[in-house]
Structure 1
Amino acid sequence: MMWLQRIRTSLVMGMAIALIVLTGCSVQSDVAQAPPEDGASDLMETPMPAQTANLPRLNGEATVQLTVNGSPIVIQVNGNDAPITAGNFVDLVNQGVYNGLVFHRVVRDPQPFVVQGGDPQGRDPNFPASRLGTGGFIDPATQSERRIPLEIKPAGGSEPVYSRPIADPPELPHTRGAVAMARSQSPDSASSQFYITLADLDFLDGNYAVFGYVTSGMEVVDQIQQGDRIESAEVTEGIDNLQTDQ
């Protein structure tokens, strides 16, 4: 019956969302900050966390090309509305972190959801597939995992809100082809794992940080299978907008 199908779809999509949350980064505290009080507006800015001082920042836009299965996927990265999240991604691309990494999670049933990759542990073909989704980028300078705060700019806002989900519509919504950071339940736990949406997923808006969109090659994204690898990732435009020295 139709109502049974709706229930099944809701349950499966709920499980799929949980997979983004639970496998976004390595295990850590799940303490989350409270959402805004009823009636509070997210247009009120949240100060940028102190830990962002040493993180890369993208002052403007950049273009990144991923090559998967021999075909290009072009991503326009938006540092105007998500400077820390975009800067982290462009910096990791520029360092070659994503070269050879596997897409460890692909969810298309019961309806298109996301393809997810970016776990550095996936470079090793002998690493157990069941454990992929637990790793993040280990910064050689600190020998610890780089983590970035949740960063979401409300539509019409002048600055992003940090370290908490927002209730207002975001400037960068989860439309088909959105590129966003995976994280654990802690808002400030994103590292290197990212996902690309296979459909409009507005129920993720305000909870995960979108930082760009696929502008060419969605037909390639649509064909990605679990276990496919990013053959190469490169910044083709806008590298001069990347600020790594604070």
Structure 2
Amino acid sequence: MLRKLAIIASLVASPALATGIEVQVEGEGANGTIKIDLLEDVAPLHAERIATLAEQGAYDNIVFHRVIDGFMAQTGDVEFGKLGDDVRMAGRGGSAFPDLPAEFSDTPYDRGVVGMARSQNPNSANSQFFIMFDQGYFLNGQYTVVGRVTEGMDIVDAIKRGAGQNGAVIGQPDVMKTVTVTD
């Protein structure tokens, strides 16, 4: 209980950090804007990585390659996920930057939370991220929480779903047309 009070007190005392991203989504399922607050106080290295890739335009035209109904929508493979390229390898790549060490926190995987995708190695997150359709508390403390959707959950909910156990999107996936950094 005292630990929870200390966390709440530190959150109230800290100034709000303003960096986020705005994602313009286009496709058969979703069309519109998703605004995400990057949680620099929770995962500074991961928030900085997403902001850097967005500033460089690396996320522009990257598909939502893995979308599981009732769970999450995954995107961000800047190596293999570019619309117009052969995206069958999407989900296996990253960026030119090195993988990041895990920044696990007590922030729960609620609806609208943005987490970093990784392999079995906890220190393997790079560029891919996912947005939760619903709570997924089994991910708590095992995947880095990097952000939270502040506007556009209706757009997230409309993202074209994948098929099968791994949620691979068949046909034309929805795409992050542009991703820009906001203040």
Considering the TM-score relative to the shorter chain, is it more than 0.5? yes
| Equivalent residues, number | 152
Q: TM-score, normalised by structure 1?
A: 0.59
Partner in structure 2 of residue 135 of structure 1: 93
- Alignment identity in percent? 38
AA at the equivalent of 2:19: A
Greater displacement, 117-126 / 72-81: 117-126
Shift of 1:124: 4.9
AA at the equivalent of 1:77: L
Shift of 1:187: 1.0
AA at the equivalent of 1:149: P
Partner in structure 2 of residue 79 of structure 1: 40
Cα 1:128–1:84 change in 2 (3 A) is closer
AA at the equivalent of 2:22: Q
Partner in structure 1 of residue 25 of structure 2: 68
Shift of 1:122: 1.4
Partner in structure 1 of residue 13 of structure 2: none
AA at the equivalent of 1:180: G
Residue 65 of structure 2 aligns to a residue whose secondary structure is strand
Gaps of 5+ in 2: 1-15, 161-168
Shift of 1:219: 0.4
Residue 81 of structure 2 aligns to a residue whose secondary structure is helix
Q: 1:213 aligns with which of 126, 142, 148?
A: 148
Gaps of 5+ in 1: 1-58, 140-145, 154-169, 238-246
Partner in structure 1 of residue 126 of structure 2: 191
Mapped to 2, the partners of 1:236 and 1:73 lie a distance apart of: 12
Moved over 4 A (4+): none
Rg larger for: 1
Shift of 1:125: 2.1
Partner in structure 2 of residue 22 of structure 1: none
Partner in structure 1 of residue 100 of structure 2: 148
Residue 123 of structure 1 aligns to a residue whose secondary structure is coil
1:229 aligned to 2:157?
A: no
Q: TM-score, normalised by structure 2?
A: 0.79
Mapped to 1, the partners of 2:83 and 2:155 lie a distance apart of: 24
